[in-house]
Amino acid sequence: MQLQWRPYRFPLSRALTTAQGRWEERSGWLLRLETADGAMGWGEAAPLPGGESWCAAAINELPSESDRADLEAMLLAMPAPVGFALGLALAELDGLGAEGWHPAPPSAVLLPAGEAALRVLRLALAVHQPNPLPFSAKWKVGVLDLGTELNLLKEVLTLMPEGSNLRLDANGSWDRPTAERWAERLMDEPRLQWLEQPLAPSDQDGLMALSRKLPVALDESLRDPAGVPNGWSGWRVHKPAIEGDPRQLLQRLQAGAPLEMVSTVFETGIGNRAISHLAAMAADGPNPCAAGLAPGWGAQGSLASSDPQQVWEAAEP
């Protein structure tokens, strides 16, 4: 098998500020994996900001040609984004997408931190069209001081229609007293779908205790060494592009695992078609809900194409 890598870089359509920092652009690598008989598999390594050098070093150590067994062995030692690229390309060679890639399912609207959330929410509600799922929004919190964000919560809830869903994503930034303040405010709020990673992955007891009061979804815990708390029965928010070989999640979704949701980290069209495919499988599973595909935030133009060759050519240095 011949491996070819190509770097890419693009600005986000708007900067995204989270509790972990500010995103203004995305960079990564595209993978074209070709067999001796001309079959092609495509992948993408899309590390989070700060992880680029680690992935670059790993990619530079990979041979330009390898047999299947050696490639599978090397994949296990790769940084998770590189493992995703390799696993995705191998999955395509094994038939993933051969009968067509599932189109993206309905997605939650991504609301930026701070007062900008109100403007984006108003615009999203103005253009919202009926679909099989209720209107859903995900709001990035844990960025401003607690009082300011709780005041903004009142305005967000005033705008959210009855029957809609609101997800609050703190990216593991809250401590227990802060989480308790939010819990007091949201205890009887029917539009709260979940708190996404409200506490650090290391605070497993706190996560379990909070989940007994309010719905909680895990995100960073799925990739942290601390892991998922024992006995966890709540939602899992998967970001496949930074979780490693996607074939494991594919198997979980094929088996009908409950309470699984798939989210993006702003990939190009190559990564996005796989993320959309997995998100559609999750949405068709036992607990359908809006995906986390952040429409309008990622790559634009040819870099967003569903044709991998177009994406490849658009990323040419």
- Quick one: tokens of 54? 């680690």
The Cα–Cα gap between 26 and 172 comes to 22
Which residues are 23's β-sheet partners?
16
Q: How many CB atoms lie within 10 A of CB 208?
A: 17
Task: Answer for the pair 195, 215: CB distance below 8 angstroms, yes or no.
Answer: yes
Residue 213 CA: distances (Å) to CA of 69, 151, 194? 47, 22, 11
138, 154, 213, 239: the catalytic one is 239
**Is 140 annotated as catalytic?**
yes
The Cα–Cα gap between 56 and 244 comes to 15
Sequence letter at residue 91: A
**Is 154 annotated as catalytic?**
no
Instruction: Lay out the sheet containing 2-18: strands in order across.
Output: 2-18, 21-34, 40-45
What 3-state class would DSSP assign to 244? coil
Task: Answer for the pair 261, 282: CB distance below 8 angstroms, yes or no.
Answer: yes
Roughly what angle, to the nearest 10 degrees, separates helices 176-186 and 204-211? 10
Task: Output the CA torsion 87→7→40→284 (10° steps).
Answer: 50
- Which residues are known catalytic residues? 140, 239
